[in-house]
Structure 1
């Protein structure tokens, strides 16, 4: 990959501000520059960033309709009404359902949970789900991570005498559904101080409010924070503000005392002997939970997440792991097919977006294929397949481009759509696909910036190897958890050399294990460059080269610093 390195050297003013902050808090000025970029300018703010406290969470009753939602839930319990917890089939939805169900089940037994089938019912609240609720005597549905656009379905439920409390975080339309209460920090009339909560995060705030109202101690909620951390990482929401508090303590819970279901997944992932990071959730834990809804039914993921017996959880986890293996095979074959289609698109080099349709594709994997296409071609991508008589699909975006707005611009062609800045779902009549493709491409062409369509690496700071001390690494780790709005810092070092011991490794000799020196110190730095074995010949010429990298702990040798090399360029 021919990456463009994007590095802005700090101004004199920025260097002086970083030095002043470094003097106050006792960490490297290089890391203080990163704090300043994140809007952290004082010792108190740095302390709050490095050690977020649960008492910094916002009062849940600041959220619009929260008092109404708690009152309706209390009334349902008081009247012994049957309650259903209903959610989306992805990680955010299933963790949200597991969290609310697990918490309420401690105090109330007449409660059930429901995840719609991706293939028979589609996304969100379904009439089939409402019918099932009516047949089983449900009077209140708490819907999580969906529902904000379900005007027709919730009207239908109301006619059947079923009330709804919506806990969602997707962008609403102008007309809201006729629910008893709508908890959504993205409501246009919202005054809640933080609007980037995950769907599971909104569910947690609801349970926090319920606990406050009923005199339940907060410590009874903390075991559920591992589920919130999994949702935050998997749904790729910003990790600053309230999400940082939730993710920080959720990761602590996940590492110290995870729920039985998550512990079983951790074991199956091979993560039980190491510290779990947000990256482990994104690449290992999340995809396995997601695979349940992609390949079979998301209800199996909730079954696992609420399981109380470890042996039973391990069996369920192995089954979900098998779904994930099936998902990987589908993903690989569909991505290959998608690449062939894209390669034959007319004037590909001039296009700013990719929209492809194949009616034979597996609906459960199209979102992953869209992600792959954005990574390969650096363009917003929409991948569509056929469901009944509609083209349904998933959209993914490149950094900085709002794909939701691009889809919303074409809303008159759509039957349904919803999502976020970087990921969205949509459906349309099959005959509308060509016009949607044209209009979507036009919108992207008019609004995307040139730098958003090329392979760039943003570099936070240039280091010499002598800067990378154990203390520097210790302080850098305090920036965890990483994610959107708090990305893992990428550093560069110029004019480095092979120490003479670097070698190609891996089953297919595709990686390079590096031992490097620069000319500023005698430090020998260990590094790993995944998938970059083509650079090995140049490295062995003894000529200098430039590297950009993240700084990691060697997973095989605890305490040893290792550079994860993102890119290598000759120095000339």
Structure 2
């Protein structure tokens, strides 16, 4: 269940200095809610800050030492990546540096999602080792594959370096491991993307091999995509990297970014976190979900405009297919899903596309307001693959850690996880979920609580207001876009759109009329009687049409009263 509540406000005495500084009570509350309580706080948050030294990543020098060794030996080097957007970015960024700057004999290997699955695959590594590969460097994977790594290194004269960002669990690989959560040696930027880890390794190597940062600076826009698509917290160093990324893509984008913006008809100067997460990112993810897993890496790696446009067209077309598959699978999931103990939704189906189940789980979660699991069953092979999504402080990977023995493998982050188990064990999974809930989560109430920063007045919504909000960007995980409420009477409303499912609203407030738009807003009609007092919850936006600016409030909910935190 989604619920909007008004954040607890400080006393007027505490808020007054900030209000006087910013000229707006709502702006003062937005800053206060983000821990920005003084002019110094605001200036530090909105100005550029130095990045952390790459050398603070534990054992990053081990990467340098092994590269020196294998460069002298002229070894074959393989960057072993992942098939999602983060993995594609990490693989492309590291491979381009190795092959084109360091000029070593390097290639990229991306596992097949369906045949090899996520992470290191023993058979694939056997094949690479037998072909004479001397060094494997993982990106965005490997931290949970200590047994596979130990077996390969014992069987062949091969070195393996692990660079990853996923949650470590159990025994760590006994090799060079670069990970921001390395136990006892955690980075100050503990939660970041695989793309950032690979990029920071590159920056360290640029220093050690006496190169400038010209290359790493040139691909920072790609690294920004990895941060947004992998839903990393946009605070601290992540925020600084993403700010640099957005500036880069708006002024002189990498070829991959440029052609993706071109094919999606987004002017590069308008690119934002929204476009990275919902326009460009899904296309990079699509090829790993249902297409050729190498297409996105090739798109981000090539120096040929012709080839880049070819790959961009491919991922664009794959994404169209992905959208249709998602729609049909979601319909099947909604028809078959069960809810365990009123806490978690789970749906499963024979032959569901492995690469789509994460999207289905996310959409189920949003529609039901519950943590959700989608499982693809392959009875012929005797396996089932699942993907789970959760929200708030419900750590879904931690939840699965309560019954690890039923899985052949599992892993993920706090709000997203994946697993593999025997296809005959679906009922065992349901029982294990129910047992775990009753044992540890009986008091858990699945409420996806969204916080409203302030009740804003019409007169506050000035150009200064929006200019100040823009300085708090980029918004995303851990720096959520501000949500506002506005109170008033319904002056009038009308249905618009080809299907008449959007609602245009005019709200009469105490200090003027406000235009509002509720997309897919038919569910609000019962609350929109003319003259009725309502509270609109959402985000105001200042749009420009034909040189004229127009203020619109985009509605996310309509309520009669707004509860306090």
TM over 0.5: yes
- 1:30 pairs with 2:26: yes
- 1:126 pairs with 2:121: yes
Name which of 143, 150, 163 aligns with 1:148: 143
Q: Which residue of 1 aligns with 2:352?
A: 361
Q: Which residue of 2 aligns with 1:77?
A: 71
In the alignment, the residues of structure 2 paired with residue 264 and residue 27 of structure 1 have an alpha-carbon distance, to the nearest angstrom, of: 42
Q: Sort the Cα spacing of 1:569 and 1:303 in 2 relative to 1 into closer, same or farther, 3 A.
A: same
Matches within 5 A, 1:240-279: 240-272=235-267, 275-279=270-274
Q: Sort the Cα spacing of 1:465 and 1:70 in 2 relative to 1 into closer, same or farther, 3 A.
A: same
Q: SS at 1:88's partner residue? A: coil
In the alignment, the residues of structure 2 paired with residue 407 and residue 528 of structure 1 have an alpha-carbon distance, to the nearest angstrom, of: 41
TM-score by length of 1: 0.92
Q: Sort the Cα spacing of 1:555 and 1:69 in 2 relative to 1 into closer, same or farther, 3 A.
A: farther
- 1:59 pairs with 2:56: no
Matches within 5 A, 1:104-503: 104=98, 105-158=100-153, 159-179=155-175, 181-272=176-267, 275-342=270-337, 345=338, 348=339, 350-387=341-378, 388-444=381-437, 453-454=446-447, 456-498=449-491, 500=492, 502-503=493-494
In the alignment, the residues of structure 2 paired with residue 547 and residue 126 of structure 1 have an alpha-carbon distance, to the nearest angstrom, of: 51
**Deviating more after overlay: 289-298 vs 147-156:** 147-156
Q: Which residue of 2 aligns with 1:93?
A: 87
1:316-374, CA deviations, whole angstroms, 9 ceiling, x for partnerless residues? 111111111111111111100110112xx4xx485211233222211111111111111
Judge conservation of contact 1:226–1:259 (CA < 8 Å) in 2: yes
| TM-superposed deviation, 1:29 | 4.1
The count of corresponding residues between Structure 1 and Structure 2 is 557
Q: Sort the Cα spacing of 1:451 and 1:172 in 2 relative to 1 into closer, same or farther, 3 A.
A: closer
In the alignment, the residues of structure 1 paired with residue 210 and residue 204 of structure 2 have an alpha-carbon distance, to the nearest angstrom, of: 10
In the alignment, the residues of structure 2 paired with residue 446 and residue 19 of structure 1 have an alpha-carbon distance, to the nearest angstrom, of: 47
- 1:6 pairs with 2:2: no
In the alignment, the residues of structure 2 paired with residue 22 and residue 331 of structure 1 have an alpha-carbon distance, to the nearest angstrom, of: 46
TM-score by length of 2: 0.93
1:70-126, CA deviations, whole angstroms, 9 ceiling, x for partnerless residues? 221233223322211111101111111011112222231411011100011111111
In the alignment, the residues of structure 1 paired with residue 196 and residue 230 of structure 2 have an alpha-carbon distance, to the nearest angstrom, of: 11
**Deviating more after overlay: 143-152 vs 77-86:** 77-86
Stretches of structure 1 that go unaligned for 5 or more consecutive residues are none
Name which of 38, 42, 46 aligns with 1:42: 38
Greater RCO (Cα-Cα under 8 Å, separation 6 or more): 2
Q: Which residue of 2 aligns with 1:567?
A: 557
Judge conservation of contact 2:77–2:133 (CA < 8 Å) in 1: yes
**Deviating more after overlay: 235-244 vs 549-558:** 549-558
Stretches of structure 2 that go unaligned for 5 or more consecutive residues are none
In the alignment, the residues of structure 2 paired with residue 129 and residue 263 of structure 1 have an alpha-carbon distance, to the nearest angstrom, of: 33
Judge conservation of contact 1:504–1:536 (CA < 8 Å) in 2: no
In the alignment, the residues of structure 2 paired with residue 513 and residue 83 of structure 1 have an alpha-carbon distance, to the nearest angstrom, of: 58
1:123-173, CA deviations, whole angstroms, 9 ceiling, x for partnerless residues? 111123313422443211110111001123212331222211111111112
Judge conservation of contact 2:382–2:424 (CA < 8 Å) in 1: no
